[in-house]
Amino acid sequence: MQLHSSVFYSRRLILFLPPLLDLFIILSMNTDVNLRAADNIRILSMSMVEKSKSGHPGGAMGGADYIHILFSEFLNFDPDDPAWINRDRFFLDPGHMSPMLYSILTLTGRFSIDDLKQFRQWGSHTPGHPEIDLSRGIENTSGPLGQGHTMAVGAAIAERFLASRFGELFAHKTYAFISDGGIQEEISQGAGRLAGFLGLKNLIMFYDSNDIQLSTETKSVTIEDTAMKYRSWGWNVININGNDQDQIRNALKLATSENDKPTLIIGKTIMGKGLLDNDGKSFERKTSTHGMPVSEAGGSFEKSLINLGGNMDDPFMIFEDVRDLYKIILSGKSGNAAEWKKRKADWASANPELDKKLHAFYAGNLPEIDYKAIQQKEGSATRAASAAMLSLFATKIENMIVASADLANSDKTDGFLKNTHPFTKGDFTGAFLHAGVSELTMAAIINGMAIHGGIIPACGTFFVFSDYMKPAVRLACLMRLPVKYIWTHDAFRVGEDGPTHQPVEQEAQLRLMEHLKNHHGENSMVVLRPADAAETTVAWKLALENKNTPTALILSRQNIKDLPSEKNDRFADALQSDKGAYIVADCHGKPDIILIASGSEVSTLIEGATLLRKDNLKVRIISAPSEGLFRNQTEEYRKSVIPDNIPVFGLTAGLSVTLQGLVGPRGSIWGMNSFGYSAPYKVLDEKFGFTAENVYKLVTAYLKTYSK
């Protein structure tokens, strides 16, 4: 669909204003003031980058017309309540266009001019790429291209999920803004495919198509027909001049009335719109302005600023008529929000139980679950134990959504699916997302669900394919999103599938995220590798109770013997997993050797200890499902589990370095230091030395050298 100019004025924002203001608004909302508002955004964006001597002005200047029309005339939000649950969501994908976002949020009152002047500086509220801060109107952290709009897909799914349970009163739009780079990123295929397949009618994405990227023009790397691509995925596609405000209005009007498909608005924009060079000639459409200040890119900051109506004495000035316009706009937004809240209050009075449930969803409250009463099959694989938990959650946790990347019957997320049904176009009454073979897309989508609020999202795949997910996992850690990862087939015991599917280095990579702190000083992630079914039950308990960071569950393919319990209460023992590491089996007096592992290797240590005890050795065995949680404990507790000056032997199916921080500098580790091989897993246990006999042999040799 191609749109041409035809003027119409949106009256959404004036519905609830006093009549005397009505005429003033219509007179104010003329072409000149709207163009000046867009130019004001261009000036602020350009000035931020110029002052900081760092940043990306060109794209922000090209997108100014769209962002002004969207925020002023279409985006529903409450200026006094940034966390309003029924606000429209706006997800920026190209984080380098942060000057555009900070500028529009300054016009809406979320940032100050001083904030803009501190762009990219230590301690400022305006970092180089936006970081999630709902109080300032920033819905998502963005920067790695492709993830922002994929998170928007997740938020749009969450919106449909909640509306299907509480009614269309809770419907709202999800807007995304994507650039040429985001379109090129591979993740865009998964996001586009799923959004079209599910018919996310309330998802509206603007593609800022300026034909320029950081190093080249886009024609140097692609000849694709983007509109045709998205149409083939089931999207409604509209082509416009992205700097023509009337075309933007008409496109958004059509998009917001769409009832069947997500909408892509392809706006052809001008990189660096309004820029002049030192001779006063146009400096638009230059690759150099993508990623450096105008004056360094070859243009004239002074001439460009004056050309756009600015003043060199005050380059951060907000034009008076633009300021007045936004005062009126914000009053209208407040009126709209107040009217909705009145309708919501009426709904709550008529539906008190539903309202209670809605509040519980958004508060992240969990139902009462008697974890001790859960019966796990003896000696089961931890992925099977997880399936038992998920089966229960599907009936108990009404706002949980589980996704799988075409592996539900293998990663055992089908335990959840058996008690619900998958999302399909127009039907979000279920709670399962078949993501298809697209692990990174899936991870970014559940980030978007978590950002939206009201949802507890989890997703599953093989542990080796966590490699595909790392960029989205990292953003989840940075944003403190309480998403849950279900990673199964945790080690070389995948067996016959061979080294392509056998994780080795993956656990060490994830454990590093337990070492890395987020900006709140917390471990950025909780990583749990349970040793048996009871620990898996507790791992899920910990995962659900963790509302501040992502949680990963690393689970076995093969069956594992249940660990022994001296008090015949394995569940009570496993509850100690919340300390990260605990004593599974101990000796009387001071140990001669401490054995430590996580996952299925703990049961191997149990068997090895039986042989060591025949030599009259005193053995302590430790299960360490989470090194990060263990490091959070008091020194007193840590020393009580692993005292100084006692030999420590670690066993891991991952890289040896995985346990280095636990065994200490004098400890000994038997691990995997090469890729695996294709063979039955019991054969691999023998070949790789993961047997009781080899544990006995290694520990005996280690003890002979330790005292020396």
Record the pTM: 0.96
User: What percent of the residues of the chain are helix, what percent strand, and what percent coil, each to the nearest 5?
Assistant: 50, 15, 40
pLDDT value, residue 548: 98
Please enumerate, as own/partner, the contacts of 302-308 that have beta carbons within 8 Å and a separation of 24 or more: 303/276, 303/277, 303/278, 304/46, 304/274, 304/275, 304/276, 305/43, 305/46, 305/47, 307/274, 307/275, 307/276, 308/39, 308/42, 308/43, 308/46, 308/274
Q: Does residue 648 register a pLDDT over 80? A: yes
pLDDT value, residue 29: 52
Q: Does residue 462 register a pLDDT over 50? A: yes
Q: Give the separation between CA 430 and CA 599, rounded to whole angstroms.
A: 32
Is residue 550 within 8 A of residue 484, CB to CB? The reply is yes
pLDDT band, very low/low/confident/very high, at 1 (cuts 50, 70, 90): low
Convert the pLDDT of each residue in 515-538 to its tens digit. Answer: 999 999 999 999 999 999 999 999
**Torsions phi, psi for 7 (to 5 deg):** -75, 130
Average pLDDT over residues 638-656: 98
Q: Does residue 156 register a pLDDT over 80? A: yes
Is the dihedral angle over the CA atoms 432, 438, 439, 444 positive or is it negative? negative
Is residue 318 within 8 A of residue 40, CB to CB? The reply is yes
Is residue 455 within 8 A of residue 428, CB to CB? The reply is no
To 10 degrees, what angle do helices 31-52 and 98-107 make? Answer: 130
Higher pLDDT, 415 or 30: 415
Convert the pLDDT of each residue in 273-312 to its tens digit. Answer: 999 999 999 999 999 999 999 999 999 999 999 999 999 9
Q: Sheet of 174-179: strands edge to edge?
A: 89-92, 174-179, 203-209, 263-268, 236-241
Average pLDDT over residues 218-228: 96
Is residue 467 within 8 A of residue 651, CB to CB? The reply is no
Q: Give the separation between CA 444 and CA 364, rounded to whole angstroms.
A: 20
Q: List, in sequence order, every residue forming a beta bridge with 651; answer none if it has no partner.
A: 597, 670
Q: Beta-carbon neighbour count of residue 568 at 10 Å?
A: 8
pLDDT band, very low/low/confident/very high, at 11 (cuts 50, 70, 90): very low
Q: Give the separation between CA 89 and CA 615, rounded to whole angstroms.
A: 66
> In the block, which residue shows the tokens 């942060």?
98
Is residue 414 within 8 A of residue 486, CB to CB? The reply is no
> Residue length, the chain?
708
| Residues contacting 665, CB < 8 A, separation 6+ | none
Residue numbers annotated as active site? 439
Count of alpha carbons within 13 angstroms of residue 230, beta-carbon side: 25
| Residues contacting 509, CB < 8 A, separation 6+ | 470
Q: What angle do CA 537, 542, 547 make, to 5 degrees?
A: 145
Token pair belonging to 378: 């003896």
Token pair belonging to 316: 């951060």
3-class SS letters over 504-555: CCHHHHHHHHHHCECCCCCECCEEECCCCHHHHHHHHHHHHHCCCCCEEEEC
Is residue 554 within 8 A of residue 599, CB to CB? The reply is yes
- Burial (CB < 10 A; 0-12, 13-18, 19+), residue 6, is exposed
Q: List, in sequence order, every residue forming a beta bridge with 461; answer none if it has no partner.
A: 487
pLDDT value, residue 321: 97
Topology given in CATH for the domain delimited by 371-554: Rossmann fold (3.40.50)
How many percent of the chain have pLDDT more than 70?
Answer: 95
Is residue 336 within 8 A of residue 15, CB to CB? The reply is yes
Convert the pLDDT of each residue in 392-424 to its tens digit. Answer: 999 999 999 999 999 999 999 999 999 999 999
What value does the CA radius of gyration of the chain take, rounded to a whole number of Å? 29
Q: Sheet of 551-554: strands edge to edge?
A: 432-434, 400-404, 456-462, 484-488, 551-554, 526-528
Average pLDDT over residues 655-659: 97
Instruction: Mention the CATH class of domain 12-336.
Output: alpha beta
Amino acid at 529: R
**Torsions phi, psi for 171 (to 5 deg):** -75, 145
Q: Does residue 7 register a pLDDT over 90? A: no
Amino acid at 274: G
Average pLDDT over residues 332-346: 98
Average pLDDT over residues 435-440: 98
Q: Does residue 8 register a pLDDT over 50? A: no
Count of alpha carbons within 13 angstroms of residue 199, beta-carbon side: 9
Amino acid at 673: N
Query: What is the Cα 447 distance to its own chain's centre?
Result: 3
The segment(s) of the chain belonging to CATH 3.40.50.970 are 12-336, 371-554
pLDDT value, residue 317: 98
| Residues contacting 681, CB < 8 A, separation 6+ | 492, 493, 494, 495, 557, 558
The segment(s) of the chain belonging to CATH 3.40.50.920 are 578-706
What rounded mean pLDDT belongs to the chain? 95
From residue 544, alpha-carbon distances to 284, 491, 607 in Å are 51, 25, 32
Q: What is the DSSP letter of 135?
A: G
pLDDT value, residue 708: 62
Q: Which is nearest to 459 in space by CA: 157, 184, 205?
A: 157
Topology given in CATH for the domain delimited by 578-706: Rossmann fold (3.40.50)
Q: List, in sequence order, every residue forming a beta bridge with 559; answer none if it has no partner.
A: 381
Average pLDDT over residues 682-708: 95
Is residue 659 within 8 A of residue 580, CB to CB? The reply is no
Query: What is the Cα 251 distance to its own chain's centre?
Result: 29
Sequence-ordered alpha helix ranges (H) in 56-97: 57-62, 64-69
pLDDT band, very low/low/confident/very high, at 18 (cuts 50, 70, 90): very low
Q: Does residue 9 register a pLDDT over 60? A: no
pLDDT value, residue 707: 78
Q: Coil, strand, or helix at residue 358?
A: helix
